[in-house]
Structure 1
């Protein structure tokens, strides 16, 4: 058996092996044939792909042209949108239950800058009225993450249709509150929004060189929930006074000489809210609506 050294010497001294010309020629032909087959398969796959795309495009054109395909597409599209819309509604109902109800017993209360009347007659309007302020308040609350309901029932018009007097307004708005509570079990605060009938000098304060309508909280002493409603009013008043000194006109308690309870017997967190007065403008009222929205958001979690 040769040693390792002998094997190495043999390899070192052996002449270099070179393939013959015949071997090279045959190998070149074999490789060329295989390359042609590979290219052919690639061309077949490419042509097949283009053929499928062309056939599908032609089928779609024929479908739209002769088989009313566009209507089917639109129908499917609309079905999808409808399904998405329904899901969105379900999500809103389930996850964002309303916390605040805003309504207006005297919904057509308006402002003298828009309606010129005899000084003995308060201005009322079917469009430019306190309802617009309620809408702004609801929007501000929603923007701050507090879901709210703003009821726009035209109580004044309903009274006219029924032939009832203005003194029956709270009877009509009582149904609004009752229906809302039956449909929304998680309401934590109810606000009957009004504007006062006092003069501007009593309802407006200057804050940082801006005229701001003042806000008062009215609590009925005739309500079963008087003490709890008073506590809510106190929380809102104190928070408002600490953040915006002078904007609150304080808490007004209506006693036994006032008929009814302003519907405050329907919920333990129910108030009548006066924003500004008859001589303020809507633009001014909106500023106070934003302020009280901020206060409500901060106090809402403290309501038991």
Structure 2
């Protein structure tokens, strides 16, 4: 009788525990379902909007790469690119659910691998070996050999802006211009073209708005713009998609010759298995040349080279790069100073390759 009485008393606890586990499983499935819906809806996220979207994408960061197609510099910088202006996150039931499940089961629904680790303890001691595809091969010097002659007077440099509305808070008071309008970043591109002109180098610039009506899908219209620019101007030898970053000011400026300038980050896209980028090694070699020249003539100007897993339209040309000039916390004037320096660097590179019609 004592044994039966003990078993009877224990039964309610077993029932409660089973109900608790069942509830957790249901809530987990619901959380993953709604989280995946968020991923499907957001196919591309502009880099300037990452912080604002963080409450949504934090649910499953291991899968958020699906959001990053066409996001310059994001994979390596998303955790470091924090705004200096504090952003207060609103309450999210998804976040509360995630933390509750993590506390009770040690399974983090934001990392699908934790589910397997819970059942396969061996995974906890295994280290990621890394993706061999991400290793940078030794890039040879780029030889500027045009497919056809490029006579003097033909444009050698193409400039465009995927996120045309990007602006600088110290100058315009906003991070982005109004829908469909040109932001400060277009003036940055103009400054580079003007500086190249002083060296006798012709540059063409597209000022077309690509981030309106859809800021999330700006790379599709900008790809079409670049295709037309290249088709109309086969003499083009360099292509630059100019952006501004979303970094803190202290990481985005340098003092050169006694003045502050916006630092320049170079983004190289290497593609993926289902997103072929045949020119990425050539683009990377070209980036190294520019980076070395900047370090030689203007130490501190370059923020270095980042290699990312997408394309950013760089599959269209063997010397196409994405440049991040300063951040939302730097000024237009600082960005213009850096473009003057970059123009001198590019002129130096072209002058070393006289087959391109540069005097």
TM-score scaled to structure 1, two decimals?
A: 0.62
Instruction: Assess, with a 3 A threshold, how the Cα gap between structure 1 residues 115 and 250 changes in structure 2: closer, same or farther.
Output: same
SS in 2 for 1:178: helix
Instruction: Assess, with a 3 A threshold, how the Cα gap between structure 1 residues 201 and 138 changes in structure 2: closer, same or farther.
Output: same
Structure 2 residue aligned with 1:168: 217
Structure 1 residue aligned with 2:307: 253
Q: Is the 8 A contact 1:239 1:295 kept in 2?
A: yes
Q: Distance in 2 between matches of 1:95 and 1:244?
A: 28
Q: Distance in 2 between matches of 1:263 and 1:128?
A: 21
**Paired positions, count:** 198
Structure 2 residue aligned with 1:213: 262
Alignment of structure 1 residues 1-304 onto 2, 5 Å = 95-116=152-173, 122-125=175-178, 126-157=181-212, 160=213, 165-222=214-271, 223-255=277-309, 260-301=310-351
TM-score scaled to structure 2, two decimals?
A: 0.53
Offset of 1:113 from its aligned partner? 1.3
Instruction: Assess, with a 3 A threshold, how the Cα gap between structure 1 residues 265 and 302 changes in structure 2: closer, same or farther.
Output: farther
Q: Distance in 1 between matches of 2:252 and 2:261?
A: 8
Structure 2 residue aligned with 1:70: none
Q: Is the 8 A contact 1:106 1:169 kept in 2?
A: yes
Deviation readout 1:220-259 (Å, 9 max, x if unpaired)? 011210100000000000000000111110001112xxxx
Deviation readout 1:173-192 (Å, 9 max, x if unpaired)? 01111101111111000000
Offset of 1:156 from its aligned partner? 2.3
Q: Is the 8 A contact 2:211 2:217 kept in 1?
A: no
SS in 1 for 2:217: helix
Offset of 1:142 from its aligned partner? 1.0
Question: Greater share of helix residues, 1 or 2?
Answer: 1
Q: Is the 8 A contact 2:176 2:183 kept in 1?
A: no
Structure 1 residue aligned with 2:121: none
SS in 2 for 1:106: coil
Runs of 4+ with >3 A deviation = 114-117, 122-125, 301-304
Q: Distance in 1 between matches of 2:349 and 2:298?
A: 15
Q: Is the 8 A contact 1:111 1:124 kept in 2?
A: no
Instruction: Assess, with a 3 A threshold, how the Cα gap between structure 1 residues 225 and 94 changes in structure 2: closer, same or farther.
Output: closer
Offset of 1:94 from its aligned partner? 7.1
Unaligned runs of 5+ in 1: 1-92
Deviation readout 1:101-126 (Å, 9 max, x if unpaired)? 00000011001114446xxxx43353
Structure 1 residue aligned with 2:81: none
Q: Which of the pair has more CA radius of gyration? A: 1
Q: Is the 8 A contact 1:199 1:279 kept in 2?
A: yes
SS in 2 for 1:152: coil
**Aligned Cα root-mean-square deviation (Å):** 1.9
SS in 2 for 1:166: coil
Q: Is the 8 A contact 1:196 1:274 kept in 2?
A: yes
